């Protein structure tokens, strides 16, 4: 299935993911299908880029544009036509291509077409984010095992413990599929595609389903909560009624570091692989490495379970959630905090809060990245010039408020819901009626440093200084830059 599927009105597209328990023959077939997808992807990348290298070589000989080899297309239909033409005679596919479903090869071709599209759009400036390089061939030892099925027999068996996929047959699931089966039997859902994937040492199948949209009412639809994420406490929740709740940080990785250190030493004492010398790993190394990976997989599973429970609990209670636009990539560059930040999963928390809010028709407000939630007093609105990270208690120099800095930040984030409706972003002004501002200012300008010439803050001789204009512009952006989903 190419292109982005658009569900019918009143329906949404969601996924149901189940762990599989394949036997030895079925696991071999699963790996064969994923390997076929990788082989088709590598063929498509080589076939398209071959014309690029040919044109570059011909241009080095002085040939004109008319004499160069024509560009090869990378659209999915073009790749599919060419692959069907060469797969019978090409020695790389002729002996075994019939062993797998055609959907396995179509998966690789579709991924290659998408990779070339992303590269072209990125080079032309049509794609956001970091620059995308030229698609490269996938290495067998590093490639992620995955395959997608869009046609053929894709169903969940009536016993609720088996799933049927094309050419793979019926595979037992590790967990019951009664939730999806009930919706299929009621006619409120239909399966669009299925994707098999090997991750964390297990095989999973994910069914993409077009399901009737069911909005679950939240306990407090008019309630708003601000969430300040941290390391000491995973999240500090403050709602507009003044209630504060601290969510502890499980720190799953820290609890397993001793066991990981033990297994890592066992792995280091065994003969591992060496590609430069052509040395294959010993069986004892493979066994020890498998035991170490199990610890990593357990930590990842515990983290995923904890984050899902936290975000589901928040979304089931509040109708509006305010979170920060944290620079997680920048935090990971701090060698002292990188492990703690990665273990907390800040980006995953925001992602889950966003899509779970959309599912229940609730609001998610993302505060601007430069909004000083920790430096702003939640009582009077005064902003500190500096607040080092090691200072865990916020003390206001104006009104004398003393409060935990995370709690103060959460209160300010909760107050941003009032900024959307009344134009104020201070926690202490939530009940203050909106006052007309002729110049359109939503927040007081910060107190400026005294001018060197006049010794006073503000304007000097009726002219605005450059650093004052920059500060005023930054304050306006902080007050207005709210991303509302």
Residues acting as catalytic residues: 228, 324, 406
Backbone angles phi, psi at 349, to 5 degrees: -65, -45
% helix / strand / coil in the chain, to the nearest 5? 40, 20, 40
Nearest to 296 by CA among 415, 202, 167, 379: 202
Nearest to 228 by CA among 384, 394, 382: 394
Backbone angles phi, psi at 195, to 5 degrees: -125, 125
In Å, the largest CA–CA distance within the chain is 86
Nearest to 350 by CA among 333, 374, 371, 325: 325
DSSP line for 36-89? HHHHHHHHHHHHHHHHHHHHHHHHHTT--GGGSPPPPP-SHHHHHHHHHHHTTT
- 283-315 vs 346-359: helix crossing angle, rounded to 10: 50
Backbone angles phi, psi at 432, to 5 degrees: -80, 130
Question: Which strands make up the sheet holding 11-19, listed edge to edge?
Answer: 11-19, 202-212, 189-199, 146-149
Q: Which two tokens stand for residue 396?
A: 């206001």
Is residue 478 a contact partner of residue 441, using CB atoms and an 8 Å limit?
Answer: no
Nearest to 29 by CA among 206, 290, 203, 287: 203
Is residue 55 a contact partner of residue 68, using CB atoms and an 8 Å limit?
Answer: yes
- Cα–Cα distance between 453 and 470 in angstroms, integer? 19
Is residue 321 a contact partner of residue 363, using CB atoms and an 8 Å limit?
Answer: yes
- Cα–Cα distance between 241 and 120 in angstroms, integer? 51
Query: Residue 174: enclosing H or E segment and its boundaries?
Result: none
Alpha helices in 316-404 (DSSP H): 328-331, 338-344, 346-359
């Amino acid at each position: 299935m190419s292109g982005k599927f658009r569900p019918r009105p009143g329906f949404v597209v969601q996924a149901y993911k189940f762990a599989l328990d394949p036997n030895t023959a079925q696991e071999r077939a699963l790996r064969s299908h994923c390997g076929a997808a990788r082989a088709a992807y590598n063929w498509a990348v080589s076939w398209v880029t071959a014309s690029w290298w040919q044109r570059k070589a011909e241009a080095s000989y002085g040939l004109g544009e008319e004499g160069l080899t024509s560009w090869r297309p990378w659209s999915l239909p073009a790749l599919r036509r060419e692959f069907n033409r060469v797969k019978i005679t090409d020695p790389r596919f002729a002996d075994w291509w019939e062993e797998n479903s055609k959907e396995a090869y179509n998966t690789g071709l579709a991924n290659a077409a998408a990779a070339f599209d992303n590269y072209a759009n990125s080079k032309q400036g049509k794609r956001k984010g970091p620059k995308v390089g030229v698609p490269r061939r996938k290495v067998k030892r590093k490639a992620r095992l995955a395959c997608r099925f869009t046609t053929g027999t894709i169903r969940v068996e009536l016993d609720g413990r088996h799933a049927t996929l094309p050419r793979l047959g019926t595979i037992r699931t590790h967990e019951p599929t009664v939730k999806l089966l009930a919706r299929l039997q009621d006619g409120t859902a239909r399966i669009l595609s299925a994707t098999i994937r090997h991750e964390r040492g297990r095989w999973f199948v994910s069914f993409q389903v077009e399901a009737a949209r069911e909005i679950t009412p939240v306990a407090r639809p008019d309630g708003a909560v601000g969430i300040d994420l941290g390391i000491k406490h995973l999240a500090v929740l403050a709602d507009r009624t003044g209630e504060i709740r601290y969510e502890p940080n499980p720190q799953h990785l820290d609890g397993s570091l001793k066991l990981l250190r033990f297994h890592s030493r066992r792995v280091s004492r065994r003969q591992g692989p060496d590609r430069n010398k052509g040395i294959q790993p010993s069986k004892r190394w493979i066994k020890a490495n498998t035991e170490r990976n199990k610890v990593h997989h357990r930590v990842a599973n515990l983290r995923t379970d904890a984050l899902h429970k936290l975000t589901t609990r928040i979304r089931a209670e509040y109708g509006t959630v305010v979170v920060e636009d944290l620079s997680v990539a920048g935090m990971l560059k701090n060698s002292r905090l990188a492990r703690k930040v990665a273990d907390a999963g800040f980006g995953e928390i925001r992602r889950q809060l966003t899509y779970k809010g959309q599912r229940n028709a609730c609001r998610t407000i993302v505060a601007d990245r430069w909004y000083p939630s920790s430096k702003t007093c939640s009582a009077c609105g005064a902003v500190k010039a500096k607040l080092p990270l090691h200072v865990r208690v916020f003390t206001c120099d104006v009104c004398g408020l003393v409060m935990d800095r995370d709690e103060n930040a959460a209160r300010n984030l909760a107050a941003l819901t009032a900024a959307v409706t009344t134009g104020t972003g201070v926690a202490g002004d939530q009940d203050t009626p909106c006052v007309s501002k002729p110049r359109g200012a939503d927040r007081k300008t910060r107190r400026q440093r005294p001018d060197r010439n006049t010794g006073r803050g503000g304007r000097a001789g009726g002219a605005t200084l450059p650093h004052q204009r920059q500060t005023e512009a930054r304050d306006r952006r902080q007050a207005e830059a709210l991303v509302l989903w």
